[in-house]
Each structure stands twice: as structure tokens, then as C-alpha cells.
A and B are shown apart, each in its own frame.
Chain A
Amino acid sequence: MTQETVQEAAPPPEPGPLARLLQELLPGVGFAITVTLLDETVTIGRDDFTRVMETLKGHERLRFDYLRCLSGADYLTELETVYHFYSFEHGHKLAVKVRCPYDDPHVPTVSHLWAAANWHERETHEMYGIVFDGHPDLRPLLTEEGLGYFPLRKSHPLADIEEWQEGYLSAIDEAKRQAASAGGEAAPPMSKVEIAQAKAKLMKEARDKARAEGLSPEDEKAAVRAAIDKFQEDLESGAVGGAAAPAPMSKVELAQAKAKVITKARSEARGQGMTTEDEKAFVAEAIKKFSEEQAGGGAPAAAAPKKEMSKIELAQAKAKVITKARNEARAKGMSTEDEKKFVAEALKNFSAEQDA
């Protein structure tokens, strides 16, 4: 509960008339003044917060009766709440900011002073995780209950959709093929299109490889030819099309079974009259047990894909790492070059982790 934010702004700009009035009316309160374009802005410490707010509303020379906007903001190490005020009596306007650290995101509520703050605080709470102490009803407003993350924090990035999808879609294809090949004899052979696609891919790879090695055009052709021949042979012998493997539980079945477990655990918990917290824990326990069963002796068929991350999961995890690194880099304001390097670094770490 220190006033680090107040001390931090060492060279303050010239205080405006309102800031001077505040300093006069509230001696002993540190007001850090920041340059703004339309409203005078002061930053205060959390300790003085309630006192300042009550004075803003109540004092006859201030009389800020209109809370026009309340916003949250994420500054990576701290969370900030901004209040924009207007006074109908005096016609003056002021912005007040207060910061709170990430690990202790508490700010006293102002909903008892301005009813308008009620919904604003609810929204800021669900979006940033700032807890407004003393608020009568801090249920989420725009998102569902029990979301588990704070969407407007910088640590919750948007996924880059194209990139994410690309990895995802190809991973799905891969998984489908695996499932088909795992189906054993009954699995349908590769469709003509798929064969052609695989062939094209192979040819391209062979060509690229030949060019990278600097072969002459004739040799290159021969290399590609050889690759195609090998592919045909594999296809005929069945090495590509449909090798038999034990049939794992399909993904859909797995998900259905899981959903059943969850539903059962939840209704059980509710039947026992648990609190929401306990209920969540109970369900989590059940899911964990289920997964263990799946991984262990319970269903040996599913053991193989469980051991390692599936391709889809891997691609998703990778996309997440990329997005996260990029957003971090952007939040730090890196140049494009540095950003690229940063992302590459993150990817490298990720692969190393996977290998280990």
C-alpha cells in the first residue's frame, strides 16, 4: 500500500486550477499531475482514495456530481482505474486515476457515491480482475460467470486467426489420416485427391532439396523421379495408405465421455449443496480422475495418443506461444526486427521443452 505511483512522476507539469484547488482542500494527499488534452488529470495513491473521492463529491467548491466514465487499464505491472468527472454546478471536469499492483488488485468502490459506477465497476471487474471493495454486486456483466480469465488484460492476447487456423486445419487433416490408418483394414484407402496432393507435396520437397544441393537440371529431374517411384511403391505395398494400429477411442467419443463425467460430477455436487467454489473443485477432481483412467490401464487403446501431445494440441500450443511472444514484444514496443527475433527465441524454447 505504498504510494509508488505518486512518487514516480518526478517532473510534474504545471498544475491546473483544479489540481491547485485539490491540493489546497486536501493537504497531505499526493497528487501527481499528468498532461492531458481535455481534462485535468491527477493520479492519487490508494490510501487517500476514499477521502479524495468523498471530497470530490461532497465539497461545495468541487461538487463533482456526474461520473461520466470509469475505465480500467492494464500497464503490465499495475492495473489502473480512471474516473472522469463532470460538475454540473461549476462546469468543470477532472480525471482521477488510481493504480493497484497486479497481485493485490483491490480498489474501494465508489458506487455508493455515484450510482453510475455500479455497472462500470462490474464491467471493469470482469475485464481486468480489479476488485472493487464494498461493491454490492460484483457479478460479471458482459461475460459469463466463471470465465477464469480477464479478457482485456494484455496477458490475454487475441490469437492471430490466419496463422492459428492454418496450423489447426493441417493438424486436423493429419489427425484424420491417423485415425483412418488406425482403423486397420476397414479404413478407406486414400482418396485420389489425397494421393495427388501427397504426390505434389513430395515432388516439391524433392525438387527443393535437389535445388538446395545445387544439382544440375537433369539430376534434379532424376531425383524427383526417384522420389515419385518410391512413393508409388509405398502406396502399393500399403505403407502410406493404411497401416494397421490399435483403434483408440475417437476424439468425439472421448469428449462425450468426458462431458458425461462432468455432468455427473456437477449434479452430484449440486445435490450435496456445495458452494460454487467447491463444486468447481469437485468437477475438476472428477475430470482429473477420468483423464488418469484414460491414460492408465482403463482403456489401453487410448494410451498411445495420450502419452504425447496430439498434433492438434501441439499446433495450438505453438500458436499460443507465438501469439503470446508477439504480443509481449508489441506491448514492450519492440521494433519489427527485434519482435521477430523475440518470437523465434520463444519458439526455440518451446521446441526444446517439447524435446525434453
Chain B
Amino acid sequence: MATIDYTIPGEHDLETLDIHVNVGPQHPATHGVFRMVLTVDGEVVTDVDPIIGYMHRGNEKLPENCDFRQAIGFHDRTDYLAQFNTEHCYVQAVEKLTGITPTERSEYIRVILAELNRITSHQMFVGAFSTDVGIFGTAFMYAFRDRELIQDFFEEITGERMMYNYFRPGGVAWDVPDNFRERCRQVIGQIKKGISDLEGLIVNNEVVLARCCGLSRMSTADAINWGVSGPLLRATGLEYDLRKAEPYSIYDRFEFDIPTGKDGDIYDRVIVRIEEMKQSVRIVEQALLRMPDGPIMAEGLKRVLRAPEGEVYMRVEGPRGEYGVYLVATGADKPYRHRVRAASFCNLSALRAMSVGNYVSDVVIILGSIDIVLGEVDR
């Protein structure tokens, strides 16, 4: 009986073709209107060309034609999942330029809201990311259940669910309701439970472990070189948080830790975010205890704010990383130059470096782990 030769003749001479795969812009895995063209060799991605700009609305140009206070609303619309954090950055930039000192009470209100906003943003991330990974529904629903609590709370304060437009140079637009403390404690209590629920669903989840551990490792040096910031940078093991590195507002008064990862892989990025939620809860609890009574707006402000000649690059630690506003003032009532340094814009620029060499199906997770907000990327 003759033996069968199973080897394919000339197997190593087979010529393969690179194929381009278009993903998006209308695709649930791209988290908005984002498109990328993958070049694949079999299942392996050999090149990624991210194409952005589908939501470009001129968010840098428009405020240059607006009064300093009118421009606040545009910052809600850049990072529309961390509106208080972005507003916080902008109003501080204006305060630095004009020399206004915000009142004590408003500082506390701002920090509390910004930290709660960080929690909602990370909840959104965990929810959306879990569907990217393939654990459909459950974690997403848990995350949104809790996010809704905070959103309701924000609505009670600002009257808005998304575009709050609440911070002002010198303070906040109006005082918080009388039951602010009790309501906030109540929300925080439920959130804490929600965070441990999420942790239980994600941290030891077999799917998450199998798909995320060791995927898309990034070294600290690479991350720094690509301008990556926020949880992605901390996941590489670098303990860098603007709230500690360059304390702004009143962050130097609170005790909190900077969670870091070890490997810079996707799993670390998720864990860092979950830990960050707990730290934000800590900050809010401390702030609630110390929040003083008093005025919510600095005194003696003119109806029209004019900033003397000068410039400032103000940056804060947003949920996605460093959110910066570069303002140039020329003595007029508008900024002459208004630049937004968006965290996910810089993080997204490293997508190619993170994805090349991985499988097509993993690119979706890698993109999800960056946690992009297209409003901020495209501005």
C-alpha cells in the first residue's frame, strides 16, 4: 500500500496577497464615527490607517469668536463623556489668564462633580469594553444602571443630562440644591456597591482574562514617546497623574492613590480604570466632609470678562488622560487662540503602534481599550 504524502508541494513558495479591510465609520465597534483601514495578511494585521474627522465641527475655531463664558459650552461637546472635567480645565485656564480666584465652596463642588464624572466615564468604558470583548449585556447593564444614578444626580444640579454648562470662571453657575450632601452620599453608597459588582464581572472573568492578558503590551518609553496619557500610561507602570504631579484646583488636599499596572497590556488598562473609580469615590467622600458653606461665585466680576495679554496651557487629568486647553489672550473679551489638547486624540495616534502584529479580532479590543470619544478626537 502506498503511503500518502500530505505535504503541499511548494508550500513555502505560496504567494499571499495583502488585503485591505475597511472598518467603520458606521460600526458599533468603533465607538462613534471612526474609520480604520486595516491591511491584513491572513488574520494578522500588518498596517492600520485610522481615518478621523467625521465629527469635526470646528470646536477650536468657534470659541475664538465667542465671549470667554460662551465658550464653556463647547467644552461639553468635545469630550461628551467627561463634561465636568473638560469644563474644569477651561474655566481654570480663563481664571489663570484673568487672575480670578474661585470661591472655596465652588472649588469643592467642582471637584466632587468632576470626580463623579470620571466615574461615569469609566463606567461607560467598562460597559462598552465588555461588549467589545464578548461578554454581552450583563456588565454593560450593570455599568449603565449605576451611571444612570449619577446622571440623575447631575440633572438635579444642572438641569441637563449631558451638556451641563455649569462651571463658570470664578465659581459655578448656581448653588447646588439643599439636599446635595445627602443625595451625594446616597449615590456614592450605591456606586460603591456597583463598582464591586463590576469588579466581580470583569476582573476574574474567563473571557476577559483569555482575550486581554498580554495583548498589545506597551512599554512606558513607547507610551511616553507617543504622547499617551491617562490610564493607558499608568497601565504601563508609570505612576503619573496630573492631580498629583501638578496639583491643580484643590487636589493637593485629598488623599488618594494612583493605581498602576505592570505590563501595559489591555487587562491592566481595564483594572487601572476600575481602581480609579474607587479612588474617585474616596476623593468625593473627603470633599463632602470638608465642603464649606459660602458664596459660589467670586465677587466683583464684570459682565464681560476681558483677559489681559498673555497665554496659558492649562491641563487637567481627565478620565482619558491629559485634557489641555491652550489659550492666547490679547486683551479682548475673546480668546485669540483656543486650542484643545484632547487625550484620546493623542492616545488614538498610537493605535497603529499598538495593533500591528495582532489579529483582526483583537484590534477591536485594542481600540476599545483606548476608550476614544470622537467628539474629542475630531473636535
A71 within 8 A of partner (CB)? yes
Taking Cβ atoms with an 8 Å cutoff, the residues of A that contact B are 35-39, 41, 65-69, 71, 73-74, 82, 84, 88, 91, 93, 95, 114-116, 118-120, 127, 140-144, 151-152, 158, 330, 333
Pick the contact of A73 from B221, B227, B314, B337 — CB < 8 Å? B337
- Cα distance, A127 to B53, chains bound together (Å): 12
B200 within 8 A of partner (CB)? no
Q: Which residues of B contact A71 (CB under 8 A)?
A: 326, 337, 339, 341
Whether A142 contacts B225 by the Cβ 8 Å rule is no
Shortest Cβ distance from residue A26 to the other chain B in the assembled complex, whole angstroms: 23
Whether B339 contacts A115 by the Cβ 8 Å rule is no
Given contacts A37-B312, A38-B96, A142-B53, contact A69 B328 (CB under 8 A): no
Q: Which residues of B contact A73 (CB under 8 A)?
A: 328, 336-337, 339
Q: A88-B224, A88-B238 are in contact. List 16 more A-B contacts (CB 8 A).
A: A39-B313, A67-B227, A69-B313, A69-B315, A69-B339, A69-B341, A84-B341, A93-B246, A115-B349, A115-B350, A116-B225, A116-B349, A119-B349, A141-B53, A143-B53, A330-B332
Q: Which residues of A contact B314 (CB under 8 A)?
A: 38
Whether B310 contacts A35 by the Cβ 8 Å rule is yes
Given contacts A38-B314, A69-B313, A143-B53, contact A118 B224 (CB under 8 A): no
Whether B52 contacts A141 by the Cβ 8 Å rule is yes
Q: Count of B residues near A, CB < 8 Å?
A: 45
Q: Which residues of B contact A143 (CB under 8 A)?
A: 53, 56
Task: State the main secondary structure of chain A at its contact with B.
Answer: loop
Given contacts A66-B224, A116-B226, A158-B61, contact A142 B52 (CB under 8 A): yes
Whether B240 contacts A88 by the Cβ 8 Å rule is yes
- Cα distance, A151 to B326, chains bound together (Å): 18
Given contacts A142-B53, A152-B60, contact A69 B324 (CB under 8 A): yes
Residue of B nearest to A137 (CB): B49
Residue of B nearest to A114 (CB): B225
Q: Which residues of B contact A140 (CB under 8 A)?
A: 53
Most buried by B among A74, A82, A140: A82
Residue of B nearest to A39 (CB): B313
Q: Which residues of A contact B324 (CB under 8 A)?
A: 68-69, 84
Could you write out 15 A-B pairs with CB less than 8 Å apart? A35-B310, A37-B97, A41-B311, A66-B224, A68-B315, A68-B341, A73-B328, A73-B336, A88-B224, A115-B350, A116-B227, A120-B227, A142-B53, A143-B56, A333-B332
- Cα distance, A88 to B238, chains bound together (Å): 10
Whether A333 contacts B225 by the Cβ 8 Å rule is no
Shortest Cβ distance from residue B107 to the other chain A in the assembled complex, whole angstroms: 18
Whether A116 contacts B238 by the Cβ 8 Å rule is no
Q: Which residues of B contact A114 (CB under 8 A)?
A: 225, 227
B79 within 8 A of partner (CB)? no
Residue of A nearest to B341 (CB): A69
- Cα distance, A66 to B246, chains bound together (Å): 15
- Cα distance, A95 to B349, chains bound together (Å): 22
- Cα distance, A66 to B225, chains bound together (Å): 6
Residues from 308 to 324 in B contacting A, C-beta threshold 8 Å:
310-315, 322, 324
Whether B225 contacts A65 by the Cβ 8 Å rule is yes
Residue of B nearest to A66 (CB): B224
Most buried by B among A35, A71, A95: A71
Most buried by A among B62, B227, B346: B227
Most buried by A among B58, B225, B353: B225
Whether B227 contacts A68 by the Cβ 8 Å rule is yes
Q: Which residues of A contact B52 (CB under 8 A)?
A: 141-142
Residue of B nearest to A331 (CB): B336
Shortest Cβ distance from residue A131 to the other chain B in the assembled complex, whole angstroms: 19
Residue of B nearest to A142 (CB): B53
Shortest Cβ distance from residue A137 to the other chain B in the assembled complex, whole angstroms: 9
Shortest Cβ distance from residue A235 to the other chain B in the assembled complex, whole angstroms: 45
Shortest Cβ distance from residue A85 to the other chain B in the assembled complex, whole angstroms: 11
Given contacts A114-B227, A116-B226, contact A38 B339 (CB under 8 A): no
Q: Which residues of A contact B225 (CB under 8 A)?
A: 65, 114-116
Whether A119 contacts B345 by the Cβ 8 Å rule is yes
Q: Which residues of B contact A152 (CB under 8 A)?
A: 60-61
Q: Which residues of B contact A119 (CB under 8 A)?
A: 345-346, 348-349
